[in-house]
Amino acid sequence: MLDALSPAEWTAVHLSLKVSLWATLASLPAGIATAFVLARGRFWGRAVLNGIVHLPLILPPVVTGYILLLLFGRKGPIGAFLEQAFGIVFAFRWTGAALACAVMGFPLLVRAIRLSVEAVDRRLEDAAGTLGAHPAWVFLTVTLPLTLPGILAGMILCFAKAMGEFGATITFVSNIPGETQTLPSAIYTFTQVPGGDTGALRLTLVSVVLSMAALLASEAMARRIGRRLDLS
Amino acid sequence: MNLSVDIRHDLGRFQLDARFETEGRLTALFGRSGSGKTTLVNVIAGLIRPDHGRIALGDETLVDIARGIFVPAHRRRLGYVFQEGRIFPHLTVRQNLLYGQWFTPRAARYQQFDQVIELLGIAPLLDRRPHALSGGEKQRVAIGRALLASPRLLLMDEPLASLDEARKGEILPYIERLRDVIGIPIVYVSHSIAEVTRLANTMVVLSDGRVAAVGAANEVMGRLDLFPLTGRAEAGAIIEARVESHDETTGLTTLRCAAGALRVPRVDTAVGASLRVRIRARDVMVAVKAPEGLSALNVLPGTVQEIDTHGGPIVDLRLDCGGQSLLVRLTRYSVANLGLAPGRPVFAVIKSIAFDRRSLGGAVTAQDVGDGDTTAA
């Protein structure tokens, strides 16, 4: 099995998994917060926030990648600040790939969680309040557990999106083997060289298997949680 | 514990303007759907902040808008049993029950888990998930969950409304036990005159957001002028009685009340226990002479006290039978024919069959009222 892929191909698979995992985990707290603000908040500019969150979904990925390059590049205002203050560099690093994937996956993450938050019966929260639970405890013991199916669904969507992300990543952090060459970039590279067809096909198969596995896992998880909650 | 409410709140359709005070063990908030009952209970619970007014429980002020006091719901320590139960779907029954206890300071806990479980008969349900519970079971769990938070007052918003008649009969005795065994003060919202009759000590009648009457349940129910609100068809007198004897051969139970002896179909209640009996006005006949050759077993002597002629062909009367108020509904024709007027001595005639089991309640030792017998009151 291990011989099926070359070391360079394994590196791409491994890097893709690492980038996607980090993209999903790092954006989760912000995703949950944004989903709650959009679902429950009543403030001026909510529509604007909603628009900004969804922007990567409708913009060409190249545009998103270029905006990231402008903002988070070494000379970009945010990138320069982060490098000076914390020594964090995104440009042409795997962290940059993770950032690009996180931004692209964020709308999907927020959307799934938001729907789940909106489905939470607020009367249950009232009931928890009358039982003596402080609002913070109500959030932790009632709202969050009831939102869990949406959070998991959002995480899997975000992860899957990150696994397949190509345009924004290659624009922002290029296609450096071992550093920013994720699975789609590697497939793209194979298709650009003579005789790369078999390599491209192998990685395509890997890609299909990984996507399918994520999908099945999410289905199984959703069913299990759904049974436990039985939101009737 | 004294609960005093004096609040105003804009509901859009009308203004909720409620002022009452109660010391009762079980205070019924009675009124039609949309009369503002649930809003009022939500205001007491702290789920709604009223526009104006104040609420005090004992000597603690819960709300005083003018002074900027509003104790949030989670610090009021009031139990709330909702109409739809609101059991947490992601927790087991046991976790649901313990939820409130967890937030109650140790020193303030006065309810024992095992006792509450036993009282409500929910021991077999503890490890189940809420979706596997029936409606009646859910309501018992909801009651247990509220109780285990050791509240100072229990609010119940139509806890039986979503249940069928058989399940209502299953829950009612448990509520009586809360009232009589645990002795927790209860505010009970209902639009069912049968439930109120059976449970309430004190009654607050709400109509379009306003308090139409407050007082002892039997007095309020006996007021002829409130019939349009308390429901004309179901109007009746509440009588406190004591079980005097059971007759095995006839299958009848004799009850003793201020008005005299009442013979009713057998009640499974120990001799000496007290019962609450509701006699509907339309089930009572009036005779001006002691009747003879009559199938009805209960003939009580009394005098006419009040006649309410509200215009139609039907007339409501209040009789005084040995100090006990009895309500009677007759045709205007009969009243004129018999020459009934206040002060006139008469005999009230009540068929034993008129006492269906749901109109009998209030016994602490009652095992289960309404087991299968679910005659609508």
CATH of the domain at A91: 1.10.3720.10
Whether the complex's predicted ipTM surpasses the cut of 0.90: no
Residues near A190 by Cβ (< 8 Å), separated by ≥ 6? Answer: A196, A197, A199, A200, A203
Whether B86 shows a pLDDT value over 60: the answer reads yes
Q: Would you tell me which residues 171-190 of chain A have a C-beta closer than 8 angstroms to some C-beta of chain B?
A: none
- Measured between beta carbons, which residues in chain B are less than 8 angstroms from residue A141? 99
Residue A144, domain extent: 2-229
List residues bridging with B153 in a β-sheet. Answer: B78
What does the alpha-carbon distance between residue A133 and residue A121 come to, in Å, rounded to a whole number? Answer: 16
Q: What are phi and psi of A190, to 5 degrees?
A: -60, -40
- Measured between beta carbons, which residues in chain A are less than 8 angstroms from residue B90? 142, 145-146, 148, 228-229
Give average pLDDT by consecutive 10-residue segment, chain A, 232 residues: 74 92 95 94 90 93 94 89 87 91 95 92 94 94 91 90 91 89 91 88 90 83 71 46
List the structure tokens of B13.
């359709």
Residue A36 has what pLDDT?
94
- For the residues B289-316, what does the mean pLDDT come to? 85
Q: Would you call B261 helix, strand, or coil by DSSP?
A: strand
Domain count, chain B: 2
Residue B104, domain extent: 3-230
B360-361 and B274-280 strand pairing: antiparallel
Residues near B184 by Cβ (< 8 Å), separated by ≥ 6? Answer: B79, B147, B151, B153, B154, B178
Beta carbons of A146 and B45 less than 8 Å apart? no
Residue with tokens 């932790």: A140
Whether B367 shows a pLDDT value over 60: the answer reads no
Residues near B25 by Cβ (< 8 Å), separated by ≥ 6? Answer: B179, B183, B185, B186, B201
- A84 interfaces chain B, CB cutoff of 8 Å: no
Q: Give the CATH number of the domain where residue B344 resides.
A: 2.40.50.100
Strands (E) in B77-201, as ranges, are: 78-81, 153-157, 186-190
Could you tell me which chain B residue has the CA closest to the CA of A128?
Answer: B100
- A136 interfaces chain B, CB cutoff of 8 Å: no
Among B256, B318, B220, smallest CA distance to B20 is for B220
B3-10 and B260-265 strand pairing: unpaired
Residue B108 has what pLDDT?
85
Q: What are phi and psi of B23, to 5 degrees?
A: -115, 0
Statement to judge: residues B38 and B90 lie in one domain: yes
% of chain B exceeding 90 in pLDDT: 34
List the structure tokens of B377.
């009151």
Statement to judge: residues B223 and B272 lie in one domain: no
Statement to judge: residues B251 and B219 lie in one domain: no
Statement to judge: residues B21 and B162 lie in one domain: yes
Query: Can you spell out the DSSP letters for A197-214?
Result: HHHHHHHHHHHHHHHHHH
